[in-house]
Amino acid sequence: MARAFSRREWNVVITGGIFLVCFLMYWFVLVPQREELASLQAAVGAKEDDYKEIQKIEAQYNLLKRESDPIVRRILQRRKDFDLSAFVAETENKQNFTRDRAFPPDKTTYGKFEKNTCRFRYKDKALHQIVAFLKEIEKPENVVTVELLTINPSSTSDPSRLGLEIRLATVVPVK
């Protein structure tokens, strides 16, 4: 026959049951919720960092856009048939600057614009000739830049004579 529990035994059983229910609630309800909360907080922190980075990039983009507007206007105001090789030939004629070799031009399209590059080699030039030629080429209204410039002594007997290899680039609207 089953024996009846005393009051003290009932208290121990009830206390044990309450402890077991509390432990199960903690283990199966609170721990997963805490882990989920921690992962959500980490995700929110990462998104906030991403948002700050996006704002920083947007500010840089707006600054570059403001700075590039005058350049784009100058490019669009240039004559429609602008050709970098022809421009360099004109400048060479004005400066009495003869080229030794011209390499084939290269074109790369970027959206509405096309980047044109040309490479040229010159021999036996004086430093003042090179400086005058480069100043004429790189005038702001021309929107032409020097991408590569290599200057070497042209001869060992006359160190004032220099050889020049230059790669020029410009941007033109896509036709």
CATH number for the domain that contains residue 132: 3.30.70.60
Q: Helix (H, G, I), strand (E, B), or coil: what is residue 85? A: helix
Q: What is the mean pLDDT of residues 66-79?
A: 77
Q: What's residue 39's pLDDT?
A: 92
DSSP letter assigned to residue 156 = S
Q: Are residues 90 and 72 in the same domain?
A: no
Q: What's residue 49's pLDDT?
A: 93
Our count of domains for the chain comes to: 2
Q: What's residue 48's pLDDT?
A: 94
Q: What is the mean pLDDT of residues 123-135?
A: 88
Residue 119: how many other CB atoms lie within 10 Å: 17
Q: Are residues 109 and 160 in the same domain?
A: yes
Q: What is the mean pLDDT of residues 63-67?
A: 81
Q: Are residues 44 and 92 in the same domain?
A: no
Q: Are residues 34 and 100 in the same domain?
A: no
Considering 77, 103, 118, which residue would you say is the last residue of a domain? 77
Question: Which range among 116-120, 143-147, 154-158, 162-166 shows the weakest confidence by mean pLDDT?
Answer: 154-158
Q: Are residues 106 and 68 in the same domain?
A: no
Q: Are residues 89 and 52 in the same domain?
A: no
Q: What's residue 141's pLDDT?
A: 80
Domain assignment present for 41: yes
Q: What's residue 1's pLDDT?
A: 56
Considering 77, 102, 128, which residue would you say is the last residue of a domain? 77
Q: What is the mean pLDDT of residues 106-118?
A: 87
Q: Are residues 52 and 101 in the same domain?
A: no
Domain assignment present for 126: yes
Q: Are residues 88 and 73 in the same domain?
A: no
Instruction: From 150, 152, 172, 151, select the one nearest 87 (Cα to Cα).
Output: 172
* pLDDT at position 68 over 60: yes
State both tokens at 20: 């077991």
Considering 77, 105, 124, which residue would you say is the last residue of a domain? 77
Domain assignment present for 1: no
Domain assignment present for 30: yes
Q: What is the dihedral of CA 7, 8, 14, 19, to 10 degrees?
A: 170
Structural domain boundaries enclosing 38:
8-77
Q: Are residues 30 and 71 in the same domain?
A: yes
Question: Which range among 8-22, 64-78, 89-103 shows the weakest confidence by mean pLDDT?
Answer: 64-78
Domain assignment present for 3: no
